[in-house]
Amino acid sequence: MKVCVVGTGYVGLVAGTCIAESGNDVICVDIDAGKVERLRAGEVPIYEPGLEELVKRNTAEGRLTFTTDLDEAVHASLVCFIAVGTPQGGDGSSDLGAVRTVAAAIGKAMNGYRVVACKSTVPVGTSEEVRAILEENTNENFDVVSNPEFMKEGAALEDFLKPDRVVIGCRSEQAAEIMKDLYEPFVRGGAPILVMDNASAEMTKYAANGLLATRISFVNEVANLCEAVGADISLVRRGVGLDNRLGMHFLYAGLGYGGSCFPKDVRSIIHTAAQHDIDFQLLRSVDEVNNRQKLRLFDKLRVFYDGALEGRCFALWGLAFKPRTDDMREAPAIGLIESLLEAGATVRAHDPEAMDTARAMFGDRISYHRTGYNALEGADAMLVVTEWNEFRRPDFERVKGLLKEPVIFDGRNLWEPEQMRKKGFSYFPIGRPAVTP
Ligand code: NAD
């Protein structure tokens, strides 16, 4: 099948590459000419495990091409995906500017029947707006499909190639058949393709992200309570999660959720609800709890140092909002660093992938170190912010030797408190008993 994907970010690039990998001809379109140039040269501008290899292979085999020319891409394609960003607007709504621009451009470029599939996360009702924009710009026949994307950064290829389910929202049987045909190679393992109306498909994406965010904020609240009453969240998590009705996923206590999706999607549902005179009280709390949780380590530092953070130096292990990505959008590290700098502390940081992202944000206000150990040199304490696998088994004697004092604040519960005590550390995890040697 001939497919174009407009917007070559995380979602567009992964989707386009995987669709090419299953034997289709895919043209990826972006307005960012620099990005297109780099992709043409085989250089993948984001860090996503396994992606570069797949991009190179499909480009070399001629199934995957990159262009800034949307007209050419639409002329050549039966299915046109919209995968541009839908960032948060000032009032919590989704900014649909790029979606509207692309819809109008696709409409103008159409020279026959097209399926226009919206992969961007968009508020309920957007498919109707896209339909109206297309109608204004073309006399050709078309169908609008709402095809939300559920991939996770860091495991995006696997999620796309082996999805739990595929959601297709549309009114037309023809479009549903085309989309089913396109997705067939990815659901051979038995995952269902759910065909529904556009509004339900759009809502499904928000409901899924809202529920996942709710679990995270819920477990973080329980973790904070565990600290107060002397319980241990890691034991509670197992006790709760082994209940089949609940399951173990998304029950890790930490520093709250970040990234380009959960925070903005939660606020977007709240906004959509408000437009319909509904106060989505639960998700307002989820958002509030999450914002507070992001500063949990900073609060612990203030207590430990009795408010005297000025002149102290802290070593951050991890900057990305989660492991296996260089993405720092809404990462807990951002608020933590800002708060530390404001309090007069200095920050030495290490992250396996997100240092360039952090440099673009903080410039020389913090220092960046090639290894975690380099970051620790002379610091008052170590702060674990992202749970990268390579952080899990450090040489603790070396850690102790590099820090001014053996103090670790662990926002991701990487280690067992009792073992840390035995190793001679003061150790402050989340929702678990703090220990001192
Ligand atoms: P992104 O910011 O990484 O990429 C968006 C791309 O669109 C950029 O390369 C940008 O240059 C391009 N673009 C913007 N305007 C354009 C235009 N007029 N023409 C052509 N290209 C244009 O965004 P993303 O993370 O890939 O997210 C895209 C959408 O998918 C969002 O709605 C997001 O909520 C949703 N989503 C993201 C994820 C994720 O993990 N990142 C997961 C599921 C859904």
Q: Which two tokens stand for residue 396?
A: 């603790």
Given CATH 3.40.50.360, say whether it is the number of domain 294-428. no
Question: pLDDT by residue (tens digit) across 228-277?
Answer: 999 999 999 999 999 999 999 999 999 999 998 999 999 999 999 999 99
Q: How far apart are CA 71 and CA 1, in angstroms?
A: 18
Banded model confidence at residue 38, pLDDT cuts 50, 70, 90: very high
Delimit the domains of the chain by residue range. 2-196, 206-292, 294-428
Helix (H, G, I), strand (E, B) or coil at 144: strand
Query: Could you tell which of 32, 84, 108, 357 is best to mutate to test the pocket of ligand 1, judged by most ligand atoms within 8 Å of the CB?
Result: 84
Ligand 1 pocket list (CB less than 6 A)? 6-12, 29-32, 35, 83-86, 98, 101-102, 120-121, 149, 151, 153, 260-261
Nearest to 283 by CA among 182, 206, 230: 206
How far does residue 254's CA lie from ligand 1's centre (Å)? 27
Q: Which residues pair with residue 142 across a beta bridge?
A: 114
Q: How far apart are CA 222 and CA 214, in angstroms?
A: 12
Q: What is the reported pTM?
A: 0.95
Q: What are phi and psi of 278, to 5 degrees?
A: -115, 130
How far does residue 246's CA lie from ligand 1's centre (Å)? 32
Atom of ligand 1 nearest to the CA of 8: 9
CB 144 within 8 A of CB 107: no
261 is catalytic: yes
DSSP of 148-203, one letter per residue? Answer: -----TTSHHHHHHS-S-EEEE-S-HHHHHHHHHHHGGG-TTS--EEEE-HHHHHH
Atom of ligand 1 nearest to the CA of 7: 7
Same fold, 2-196 and 294-428: yes
Q: How far apart are CA 40 and CA 27, in angstroms?
A: 11
| Architecture of the domain spanning 2-196 | 3-Layer(aba) Sandwich (3.40)
Residue 90 has pLDDT above 90, yes or no: no
Q: Which residue in the list 80, 118, 226, 261 is annotated as catalytic? A: 261
36-68 residues labelled b (16+ CB within 10 A) or e (exposed): beebeeeebebbbeebeebbeebbeeebbbbbe
How far does residue 398's CA lie from ligand 1's centre (Å)? 42
Question: pLDDT by residue (tens digit) across 139-189?
Answer: 999 999 999 999 998 899 999 999 999 999 999 999 999 999 999 999 999
Name the percent of the chain lying above pLDDT 70. 100
How far does residue 419's CA lie from ligand 1's centre (Å)? 43
Mean pLDDT, to the nearest integer, of 66-86?
98
Residue 47 has pLDDT above 90, yes or no: no
The residue whose CA has the least distance to atom 12 of ligand 1 is 7
Considering the four listed CATH numbers 3.90.580.10, 1.20.140.10, 1.10.10.10, 1.10.1040.10, the one that applies to the domain covering 206-292 is 1.10.1040.10
Question: pLDDT by residue (tens digit) across 393-422?
Answer: 999 999 999 999 999 999 999 999 999 999
